[in-house]
Amino acid sequence: MSPAEIENVLYQLPSIAECAVIGVPDERWQEVGHAFIALKPGAALDEQTVAAHCVKNLAKFKVPKYVTFVDALPHNATGKILKRELKALLDH
């Protein structure tokens, strides 16, 4: 799974302000994608639309199994998205 490839496909959706994809453990596939999405102000988007877009543009095994909508993604001082903090959210 290439998070950057999946993120590039997600960014094609005009409602998405920011997104990040991380790998999460899966019993059957060992690891699957979990997309975290922050929407642009006033935008609306649902999991079904995200999944349909990904199915059209990615191989089936690359489509994120989980989608979580967040108000904002965590960043460090230089603006890089902190994916380790997203993983920590799932651990709690």
Question: Per-residue pLDDT for 19 more than 90?
Answer: yes
Average pLDDT over residues 47-76: 97
Query: At 35, which CATH number?
Result: 3.30.300.30
| Pairwise CA distance, residues 87 & 68, whole Å | 12
pLDDT band of 1, cuts 50, 70, 90: low
What is the reported pLDDT for 12? 98
pLDDT digits (tens, 9 = 90+) for 38-58: 999 999 999 999 999 999 999
Tell me 75's DSSP state: B
- How many structural domains compose the chain? 1
What residues make up the domain containing 13?
A: 3-91
The model's pTM is 0.93
Query: Partners of 25 in the beta sheet?
Result: 31
Question: Which pLDDT score, from 0 to 100, does residue 92 have?
Answer: 65
The 3-state DSSP composition of the chain as helix, strand, coil percent (nearest 5) reads 35, 30, 35
Rounded to the nearest 10 degrees, the angle between the axes of helix 47-57 and helix 3-10 is 120
Q: What does pLDDT average to over the chain?
A: 95
